[in-house]
Amino acid sequence: MRTTTAATTAGLGRAALLQRVTAGVVGGLAGGLVFGVMMQLMDMMGMVAQLVGSSSVAVGWVVHLAISAFFGAAFTVALAGLIHGLSRALPLGAVYGVVLWVIGPLLLMPAFLGMPLFVINDTTLLSLVGHVAFGLVLGLVAAAMLRRRPA
């Protein structure tokens, strides 16, 4: 009996983790698409592609969506316990977007590309808007998907 209970509990733990990761990946991809369209309109996908040594817009999209899926999953794995409906998911997503903006375009991306760090200009401010949009969409999708309990 004890072994059955332990196996059931472990199974529920894996199912809950899978649900969180799935919600985060789907939310991250949805947010990434919204933000990606903004980046495409700003002609920034080539710069994203430079992170992997390319200048291809298509490669930029792949890199951008992979990053979006990863950070979406990180959001839901870390914060799923705090996401209880839109009243919490949207502000958490927006704050997460701001944090990603500081870490990504202000710190890591310029460091990788040999550019000055923490530069605030029209481009980085538009990027802030895109990162907040990413976080809002991520929070919205994650909240909707996490409402369902794992089987």
Looking at every residue in the chain, the average pLDDT score rounds to: 90
Structural domain containing residue 89: 3-147
Q: How confident is the model at residue 7 (pLDDT cuts 50, 70, 90)?
A: very low
pLDDT bracket for residue 149 (50, 70, 90): low
CA 69-146-39 angle, to 5 degrees, is 30
- Residue 151, pLDDT > 50, answer no
Q: pLDDT tens-digit profile of 45-54?
A: 999 999 999 9
Tell me, what's the pLDDT at 90?
Answer: 95
Instruction: Give me 80's structure tokens.
Output: 């799923």
**Using a CB cutoff of 8 Å and minimum separation of 24, what contacts does 5-9 make?**
none
Q: How many domains does the chain contain in total?
A: 1
Q: Name the range with the highest mean pLDDT among 58-72, 79-93, 135-149.
A: 58-72
Amino acid 128: pLDDT: 97
The confidence score (pLDDT) of residue 119 equals 95
Q: Each residue of 130-145: pLDDT tens digit?
A: 999 999 999 999 999 9
Percent of the residues in the chain that have a pLDDT greater than 90, as a whole number: 79
Nearest to 17, CA basis, from 81, 63, 62: 81
Contacts of 72 by beta carbon, 8 Å cutoff, 6+ apart? 24, 25, 26, 27, 28, 29, 31, 32, 138, 142
